[in-house]
Amino acid sequence: MLNVRNLTVNLGRQTILENLTLTAQVGQITAVVGPSGAGKSTLLAALTGDLSFDGSVTLNGHDIARTSTTRLAEIRAVLPQATPMSFPFTVLEVVRMGRIHKTMNNRMASEALTRVGLHGFEGRFYQELSGGEQQRVQLARVLVQVWEPVAQGSSRWLFLDEPVSSLDIGHQLQVMRIIQDFAVRGGGVVMVMHDLNLTAMCADSVILLSNKMVMHQGSPRDTFRDDLLSSAYGCKIAVNRAPEDGMFLLPQVACAAS
């Protein structure tokens, strides 16, 4: 379980996040949503130990500030929003970096690539791929890092920053299925999302971030309410129910300002 209490992040003289308290459960997908600039990436950077912060963040009961880099790498993998690379590595070599300290054969890497829909891309140069293909190669790298259970049985975690934002709808669904599969097999997932419809479809828990704070955390059904979303995003949003308990969102034409 991921437990965040009274998290405050300052960058320079600016307070980016103030006094956040939230949780994420193993076996669930926790989505972080909110308008651009709300601090979603900053929150993820704090949770993965890249930024210094005030407050406490514990992963599986251990304070992440006091856990070693190597130990953290065993139980959690992180997918950045974009990963430019400066040397001409092949796709296979990039995926293998996910298990840089462990043994790994090429078959494992190929399986991960097949899983993200990049079968046969092993010998291509990473730099010559499209943005969406690069993002999926990185997803494969992140998957091989935590796909196998850890020896002591602690839960594994995936932290993803907009994993599907540069993908078409087919690949978006494919990636969401992989992530759901990971959660079903006992992993925890925290991911930043922009697409509220996809979030409503796949997430078990949603954190709505706005104005440096957590506006609401709960199931998609609880969080996606007209009033909460409209005030967070600053425009009129209507949530509609689809048959069979589904849900879809429609932004209204009139903006809140007018």
Partner 1 sequence: MPTAEQISPATVCDGDRSATTRRIVWLLGALLAASMIVALATGSAGTSLWQALSDVLQGRELSLRDRVVLLDIRAPRVLMGCLVGAALAVSGAVLQGLFRNPLADPGIVGVSAGASLGAVGAIVLGGALVVWTVPVSAFLGAWITTILLYRVATRRGRTSVATMLLAGIALTAFAMALTGILVYVADDTQLRDFTFWTMGSLAGSTWSKIYVAGPIIAIPLLLTPFLAKGLNGLTLGEAAAGHIGIRVQRLKACAVLIVAAATGAAVAVSGGIGFVGIVVPHLLRLASGPDHRYLLINSALLGAALLVMADLICRVIIAPAELPIGIVTAVIGAPFFLWILLRQRGIVDL
Ligand X SMILES: Nc1ncnc2c1ncn2[C@@H]1O[C@H](COP(=O)(O)OP(=O)(O)OP(=O)(O)O)[C@@H](O)[C@H]1O
Report the alpha-carbon distance of residue 47 to residue 164 in Å, rounded: 20
Closest alpha carbon to 32 in 47, 54, 49: 47
Which of Mg ion, partner 1, ligand X, none does 122 bind, CB closer than 5 to 8 A by kind? partner 1
Which of ligand X, partner 1, Mg ion, none does 77 bind, CB closer than 5 to 8 A by kind? partner 1
Q: Which residue from 72, 129, 201, 215 is in contact with partner 1, where contact means CB under 8 A? A: 72
Q: In the bound complex, what is the minimum distance in angstroms from residue 192's beta carbon to ligand X? A: 6
Three-class secondary structure assignment of 158-225: EEEECCCCCCCHHHHHHHHHHHHHHHHCCCEEEEECCCHHHHHHHCCEEEEEECCEEEEEECHHHHCC
Closest alpha carbon to 158 in 177, 183, 135, 175: 183
Report the alpha-carbon distance of residue 252 to residue 234 in Å, rounded: 11
According to the binding rule CB under 8 A, does residue 111 interact with partner 1?
A: no
Closest alpha carbon to 256 in 244, 240, 238: 238
Q: Which residue from 39, 98, 187, 220 is in contact with ligand X, where contact means CB under 6 A? A: 39
CB contact at 8 A, 188 and 28: yes
CB contact at 8 A, 204 and 219: yes
Nearer to ligand X, 39 or 98 (CB): 39
Report the alpha-carbon distance of residue 189 to residue 179 in Å, rounded: 8
Q: Which residue from 111, 122, 204, 226 is in contact with partner 1, where contact means CB under 8 A? A: 122
Q: Which residue from 2, 4, 38, 112 is in contact with ligand X, where contact means CB under 6 A? A: 38
- Pick the stretch among 2-10, 124-132, 210-218, 247-255 that binds partner 1 (CB under 8 A): 124-132
According to the binding rule CB under 5 A, does residue 223 interact with Mg ion?
A: no
According to the binding rule CB under 5 A, does residue 41 interact with Mg ion?
A: yes
Judged by CB under 6 A, the chain residues 42 through 81 that form the site for ligand X are 42
Q: In the bound complex, what is the minimum distance in angstroms from residue 54's beta carbon to ligand X? A: 16
CB contact at 8 A, 190 and 2: yes
Q: In the bound complex, what is the minimum distance in angstroms from residue 130's beta carbon to partner 1? A: 14
Closest alpha carbon to 33 in 198, 167, 184: 198
Position 249: which residue type? L
According to the binding rule CB under 6 A, does residue 13 interact with ligand X?
A: no
Q: How many CB atoms lie within 10 A of CB 41?
A: 19
Q: In the bound complex, what is the minimum distance in angstroms from residue 132's beta carbon to ligand X? A: 17
Q: In the bound complex, what is the minimum distance in angstroms from residue 191's beta carbon to Mg ion? A: 11
According to the binding rule CB under 5 A, does residue 42 interact with Mg ion?
A: no
Q: Which residues bind partner 1 (CB under 8 A)?
A: 45, 48-50, 69-70, 72-74, 76-78, 80, 83-93, 97-98, 100-101, 106, 122-125, 127-128, 145
Q: Which residues bind ligand X (CB under 6 A)?
A: 11-12, 14, 16, 34, 36-42
